[in-house]
Amino acid sequence: MGNSLQEQFLKLGLAKKNDANKINKQKHKHKKQHQPVQEAKEVPKAEQEKKDYAKLLNAQRAEEQKKKELALQIDHLIAHHKVEEITGDLPYRFTADNKIRKIFISQKIIDQLSNGILAIVQEKPNVYVLVPTEIGRKIGSLDENRLILLHSKENSSEEDDPYSEFEIPDDLMW
């Protein structure tokens, strides 16, 4: 008794199996074409979520690519403009990454750093090199974390000196 009417007709020979298959296919197509409205609304929503996720991934990839290009540009500037002959016997201390770092340089290089002719930039982690001030400023504008030390050429102590108006006597002995 569990047999459907279609199966009963097939057993009795009143219907052919090919005709039954055609009817089943037509019913299936009709159901698929007339899906409920709720399912139709969910499909565009899912597609929109996929598009949003793809846009987010593309934006992240573009940002990473921009960072890589910026790092390559900075590395190129450092490689072509770093001062090679800086070794000396005098220690020069500066702060980088909240730590005091030390490099050994000559007195001439120390004077150039103090006068704002040279700047210290980070080439690699824990590797610091000297470059001309213009290049140091350019690197600082591209990535402020790579510029470690840059003194200005102007001496602010001369401008703020309260005794600059007074002359020093010629016979003053120390």
Boundaries of every domain in the chain: 82-157
25-66 confidence digits (pLDDT tens): 888 787 777 665 555 566 688 888 899 999 999 999 999 999
Confidence of residue 2 (pLDDT cuts 50, 70, 90): low
d(CA 106, CA 128): 16
Residues 6+ apart with CB under 8 A from 63: none
Length of the chain: 174
| Helices 17-33 + 5-12 axis angle, to 10 | 160
DSSP string, 84-109: ---EEEEEEEEEETTEEEEEEE-HHH
Pairing status of strand 147-150 against strand 118-124: antiparallel
Tell me what pLDDT residue 156 has. 47
Nearest to 80 by CA among 124, 123, 109: 123
| pTM check: above 0.75 | no
108-157 confidence digits (pLDDT tens): 998 888 888 999 998 888 888 999 999 999 998 988 888 888 887 654 45
